[in-house]
């Protein structure tokens, strides 16, 4: 056993190898859906820091890569009869941090491990950011969740100290010969997170054997994933040691495998030493634009719902106005059926918060994890000048608050008569001018509603253009693609009035295709 291992470190055995769990100070933050951890190992004597972001699919071996880096940094040798491992159990940690046990089962953390007191061979401290694993089962909701986690980490750099990164590292299995459609989706999704000023992208091919190159490197190249270099790291050798009964062949294999893994890690960290860090300004902007785009598109169905209900009501009123006779008693009691939209308040589940507008009773961002309204993507890039992206009338920032409830709109039928309509528009008996003015007013309100929808579409198109200009890997999506997704969503959910909304969305698609 190494004499310099602190006595308070817990340990276990894996085979004949003693494994010590490295302790660290753990600062965590849980706000809404955002879960961040910063884990400091030791204390630092230098301000120079290299930051690595690890991303990959579930099961690719990210955890073992981090432990391999840990043993490399602290110069553990093959002949040592011990190994180091980070003393973390995410599920246990989450259970302590979250009272809602059901939420903890489905929540993943972004963890920043800061290796401070590395030996003299490493003239800088190393921070490894471990992100939740992407799923290969087309779980787009989980992928979007991971994306929002990374965005929150980068956006909150004052608290967490992550204002730049030196390298993005994809972790991929060595045995992969070609990227599946799901894997390609994952890699393209990750690349689309970053600004076009991120150049230092690498790959670690895990579970590799004694080879200089990897099938995975070819698969990444064919899949148009722009990695500068792919380093093969045999994770399987990490917990192996030289045993007294090892044959010369087995001993040689272990030595070669260990040395090759450490050599490749050494190559990577030597290259990392010369890398100029990339600030995250453009990347954060891209992430903000993506969130803003998503919020705008999420608001369109609700806006269409209100528009169609109100449009129908106005059409009934307009028809009734044209039929109003001078004799108020003629068909005065004839009843028209109109739909009326009412706002109801609903409590958010699991302590989630929503950004709402108390002036127009609109839910503008749900769930919303942003501390201040200025940072909320529902109003970020229009905030002080044009108001909220979601409110039908772009209500100002001062009308927006964060609450444990949200507003939803429900449709109710009601009956109106010609007398009701005449009184609503203050039409004097026998006044043709009053009727004409009322009809003009109705048409103006219909035009205003249509303009509100068109404004949302234009804002979404502006976001798409800006994302394409700034993103490392621009999406092929157009406004028509997003509208078609809304059509698919409406057709699947089939809420009240969905057919009318689908027709309106198809009309918008046809207009945008021209």
Task: Assess whether 337 and 434 both reside in one domain.
Answer: yes
The helix/strand/coil state of 311 is helix
In a domain, 485, yes or no: no
Please report the pLDDT score of residue 166 as a whole number.
Answer: 92
Q: Report the distance separating Cα 406 and Cα 506, nearest Å.
A: 29
Average pLDDT over residues 420-443: 72
Domain assignment of residue 313, given as a range: 285-450
DSSP 3-state of 10: coil
Helix then strand then coil, in percent of the chain rounded to 5, is: 45, 20, 35
Pick 73 or 341 by higher pLDDT.
73
Q: How far is CA 475 from the centre of its chain?
A: 15
Query: Do both 194 and 326 map to the same domain?
Result: no
- Tally of structural domains, the chain: 2
* Nearest alpha-carbon partner for 128 in 181, 178, 73: 73
Could you tell me if residue 264 is inside a domain?
A: yes
The C-alpha angle 7, 9, 11, rounded to 5 degrees, equals 110
Query: 3-class SS at 322?
Result: helix
Does the pLDDT at position 99 exceed 50?
no
Asked if 87 and 22 count as a contact pair (C-beta separation under 8 A), the reply is yes
- Give 126's strand partners: 50, 115
Q: Which residue has the higher pLDDT, 484 or 392?
A: 484
**C-beta pairs of 343-347 under 8 Å, 24+ apart in sequence:** 343/407, 343/408, 343/409, 344/407, 344/408, 344/409, 344/410, 345/405, 345/406, 345/407, 345/408, 346/405, 346/406, 346/407, 346/408, 347/404, 347/405
Considering the domain architecture, whether residues 250 and 293 belong to the same structural domain is answered as: no
- The β-bridge partners of 337 are 415
- Model confidence at 407, pLDDT cuts 50, 70, 90, reads very high
Contacts of 262 (CB under 8 A, 6+ apart): 72
Residues 325 and 363 reside in one and the same domain? yes
Q: To 10 degrees, the CA torsion angle through 207, 10, 114, 166?
A: -10
Is 291:144 a contact under the CB 8 Å cutoff?
no
| Same domain membership, residue 318 and residue 194 | no
Dmax over CA atoms of the chain, in Å, equals 112
514 lies in some domain? no
| Structural domain contains residue 458 | no
Confidence of residue 386 (pLDDT cuts 50, 70, 90): low
> Can you give the pLDDT at residue 305?
81
Q: Rounded to the nearest 5 degrees, what angle is found at the Cα of 134, between the Cα atoms of 475 and 87?
A: 140
The SS3 call for residue 465 is helix
Query: What percentage of the chain carries pLDDT values higher than 90?
Result: 12
Is 483 inside a domain boundary? no
pLDDT band at 92 (very low <50, low <70, confident <90, very high): very low
How confident is the prediction for the chain on average, in pLDDT?
80
Per-residue pLDDT, 107: 43
In a domain, residue 81? The reply is: yes
**332 and 366 assigned to the same domain:** yes
pLDDT tier at 101, thresholds 50, 70, 90: very low
The helix/strand/coil state of 318 is helix
Picking from 228, 442, 177, the residue whose alpha carbon sits closest to that of residue 320 is 442
Query: 73-87, 209-223, 395-409, 462-476 — which is least confidently predicted?
Result: 209-223
Is residue 469 assigned to a domain? no
Residue 31: per-residue pLDDT: 64
Residue 436: how many other CB atoms lie within 10 Å: 12
**20-24, 223-227, 308-312, 406-410: the lowest-pLDDT one:** 308-312
**In this structure, are 359 and 259 located in the same domain?**
no
Contact 37, 112 (CB under 8 A): yes
Over 90: is that where the pLDDT of 52 sits? Answer: yes
Report d(CA 259, CA 265) in Å as an integer. Answer: 10
Assign 3-class secondary structure to 111-156: EEEEECCCCCCCCCEEEEEECCCECCCCCHHHHHHHHHHHHHHHHC
Q: CA-to-CA distance for 52 and 128, rounded, in angstroms?
A: 5
Higher per-residue confidence, 320 vs 202: 202
Quick: pLDDT tens for 129-138.
Answer: 998 887 766 6
Whether residue 59 is predicted with pLDDT greater than 60 in this model: the reply is yes
Q: What is the mean pLDDT of residues 76-83?
A: 89
Distance CA 311, CA 313 (A): 5
Whether residues 301 and 228 share a domain: the answer is no
Which domain-ending residue is among 257, 279, 301?
279
Across the range 6-14, mean pLDDT stands at 84
User: Do 164 and 194 have their domain in common?
Assistant: yes
Task: State whether 78 and 93 are in the same domain.
Answer: yes
Helix and strand tally (H, E) in the chain?
14, 18
In the chain, % of residues over pLDDT 70: 84
Q: Is the pTM of this model over 0.85?
A: no
Which of 210, 245, 279 corresponds to the end of one domain? 279
Strands 49-56 and 167-173: parallel
Q: What is the CATH number of the domain that holds 187?
A: 3.40.50.300
- pLDDT (0 to 100) of residue 98: 41
pLDDT band at 87 (very low <50, low <70, confident <90, very high): confident
> Are 87 and 190 found together in one domain?
yes
**340 inside domain:** yes
> What pLDDT, on the 0 to 100 scale, is given for residue 201?
92
Q: Are residues 250 and 354 in the same domain?
A: no
Q: DSSP of 352-405, one letter per residue?
A: --EEEETTTTEEEESS---SSGGG-TTTTTTHHHH--SSSTT---GGGEEEESE
The pLDDT assigned to 387 comes to: 76
Among 244-248, 362-366, 441-445, name the one with the lowest average pLDDT: 441-445
- Collapse the DSSP code of 12 into the 3-class scheme (helix H, G, I; strand E, B; otherwise coil) and give the result: strand
Domain boundary among 279, 297, 316: 279
């Amino acid at each position: 056993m190494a004499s310099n291992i602190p006595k308070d470190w817990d340990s276990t055995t894996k085979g004949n190898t003693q494994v010590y769990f490295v302790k660290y100070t753990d600062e965590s933050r849980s706000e809404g859906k955002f879960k961040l951890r910063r884990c400091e190992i030791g204390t630092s004597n230098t301000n120079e820091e290299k930051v690595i972001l690890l991303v990959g699919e579930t099961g690719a071996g990210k955890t073992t890569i981090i432990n391999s880096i840990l043993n490399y940094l602290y110069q553990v040798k093959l002949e040592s009869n011990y190994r180091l491992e980070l003393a973390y159990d995410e599920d246990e940690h989450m259970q302590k941090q979250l009272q809602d046990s059901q939420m903890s089962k489905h929540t993943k953390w972004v963890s920043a491990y800061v290796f401070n007191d590395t030996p003299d061979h490493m003239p800088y401290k190393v921070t490894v950011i471990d992100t939740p694993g992407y799923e290969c089962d087309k779980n787009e909701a989980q992928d979007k969740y991971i994306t929002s986690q990374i965005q929150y980490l980068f956006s909150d750099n004052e608290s967490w100290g992550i204002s730049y990164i030196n390298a993005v590292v994809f972790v991929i299995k060595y045995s992969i010969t070609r990227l599946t459609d799901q894997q390609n989706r994952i890699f393209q999704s990750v690349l689309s997170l970053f600004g076009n000023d991120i150049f230092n992208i690498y790959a670690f091919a895990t579970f590799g054997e004694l080879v200089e190159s990897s099938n995975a490197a070819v698969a990444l190249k064919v899949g148009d994933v722009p990695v500068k270099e792919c380093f093969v790291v045999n994770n399987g050798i990490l917990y192996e040691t030289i045993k007294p009964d090892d044959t010369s062949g087995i001993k040689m294999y272990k030595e070669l495998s260990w040395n090759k893994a450490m050599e490749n890690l050494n190559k990577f960290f030597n290259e990392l030493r010369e890398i100029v860090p990339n600030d995250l300004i453009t990347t954060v902007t891209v992430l903000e634009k993506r969130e803003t785009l998503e919020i705008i598109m999420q608001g369109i169905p609700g806006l269409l719902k209100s528009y169609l209900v109100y449009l129908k009501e106005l059409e009934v009123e307009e028809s009734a106005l044209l039929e109003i006779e001078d004799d108020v008693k003629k068909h005065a009691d004839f009843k028209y059926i109109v739909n009326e939209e009412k706002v109801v308040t609903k409590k958010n589940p699991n302590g989630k918060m929503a950004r709402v507008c108390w002036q127009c009773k609109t839910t503008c961002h749900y769930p919303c994890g942003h501390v201040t309204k200025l940072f909320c993507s529902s109003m970020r890039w229009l905030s002080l000048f044009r108001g909220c992206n979601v409110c039908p009338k772009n209500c100002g920032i001062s009308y927006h608050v964060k609450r444990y409830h949200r507003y939803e709109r429900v449709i109710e039928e009601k009956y109106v008569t010609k007398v009701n309509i005449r009184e609503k528009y203050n039409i004097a008996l026998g006044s043709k001018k009053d009727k004409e003015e009322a009809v003009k007013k109705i048409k103006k309100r219909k035009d205003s509603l249509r303009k509100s929808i068109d404004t949302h579409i234009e804002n979404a198109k502006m976001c798409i253009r800006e994302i394409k200009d700034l993103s490392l890997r621009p999406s092929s999506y157009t406004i028509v693609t997003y509208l078609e997704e809304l059509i698919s969503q409406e057709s699947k959910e089939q809420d009240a009035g969905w057919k009318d909304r689908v027709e309106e969305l198809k009309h918008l698609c046809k207009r945008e295709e021209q």
